[in-house]
Amino acid sequence: MYRTYEFTFADTPASLYGMFVCDFGSKKHSDNAFGNRANIVETRLPQRVTPLHYGVRYHDSPLEFTLIFGAEEEMDRYQLQEVSNWLTGYQDYQWLSIDQPDMEHIQFHCLIQSLTPVSVKWLPFAFEAKIICDCPYGYSYPFEEKIEFAGTTSVRFYNDSTIREHLRPELRIKLTAGCKSFSVTNKTTGSVMQFTNLPGGGITILVDNENEILQDADNRYDLYEYFNFEFFDLASGDNELVFNGTGVVTISGRYLYNVGA
């Protein structure tokens, strides 16, 4: 057995069970393809050399990989049950992190699809776990950045994601009393999110850009009446943002990394 790194699943460290990621005999962690496999959408006709090309889809298949982990000594049936109860049976995706030096900033949102004991002479020492993630990518740990703005305020925001697709974080926009209009322009992507003629003063707007949901924090108003229906997004790398209005906006979420596993 070759010992490698610790890992954590569902907020529980493997060290609690005396386990760690490892290579165990012929059971080894193999190289896996990156999650964003290109699925080409096109039609080939007999009379044409080139196809009718419609585009490429990158999100059809989630990231999948195999994790081998074991213990220093053989496990009895009670220990096998404890490990199985810890790793399987969830109805929702759980967070997995592996304490490998180049992966310490990454988490996988995943479920363990199957868990198979690995034995030597009928004695179980390790497990082979089939992992399936909720998307083709790994995630950063949660980030949060607060930006104060008054009048027209320009800010550079760095999106640490390593994918071409735009990131759609959550926004909490707290406007000062008397401020009834707000906009944020991303000059990098060309998008403009705008609210005009808002009722009252000091309103707080919650924006789930991924699911395109707006909410007044006090549940007093239907904010879609004042919205231009263009949601906020961030390109990978530097983004030039211009805020108009007065208040504080909190940008939060998780960056996405195309890392394989």
Note the pLDDT tens digit of each residue in 32-48: 555 566 677 778 878 88
> 77-107: per-residue pLDDT in tens?
788 888 889 999 899 999 999 988 888 899 9
Q: Taking Cα atoms as reference points, which of 113, 112, 131, 136 lies closest to residue 60?
A: 136
Residue type present at position 65: F
Q: What would the pLDDT profile of 181-208 be if each residue is shown by its tens digit?
A: 999 999 999 999 999 999 877 899 999 9
Supply the pLDDT for residue 121: 63
The pTM of the whole model exceeds 0.75? yes
How does residue 71 score in pLDDT terms, banded at 50, 70 and 90? confident
Q: Is 60 exceeded by the pLDDT of residue 141?
A: yes
* Dihedral pair phi/psi, residue 103, rounded to 5°: -125, 10
For residue 25, what pLDDT is reported? 54
245 contacts 179 by C-beta, under 8 angstroms: yes
Average pLDDT value over all residues in the chain: 87
Kindly write down the DSSP assignment for every residue of 37-98, as one continuous string: --EEEEE--TT-SS-EEEEEE--SS--EEEEEEEESS---HHHHHHHHHHHS--SS-EEEEE
* pLDDT at 15 > cutoff 60: yes
What is the percentage of the chain residues whose pLDDT exceeds 70? Answer: 88
Is the pLDDT score of 5 beyond 70?
yes
Residue 241 confidence class, pLDDT cut points 50, 70, 90: very high
List C-alpha distances in Å: 207 to 33, 147, 194, 201, 261. Answer: 34, 15, 12, 18, 32
**Cβ burial 64-100 (10 Å sphere, 16+ → b, else e):** bbbbbbbbeeebeeebeeebeebbeeeeebbebbbbe
Evaluate if residue 248 carries a pLDDT over 80. Answer: yes
Question: Is residue 193 within 8 Å of residue 231, measured between CB atoms?
Answer: yes
* Helix, strand, or coil (residue 193): strand
With 90 as the cut, is the pLDDT of residue 250 above it?
Answer: yes
* d(C-alpha 258, C-alpha 41), whole Å: 22
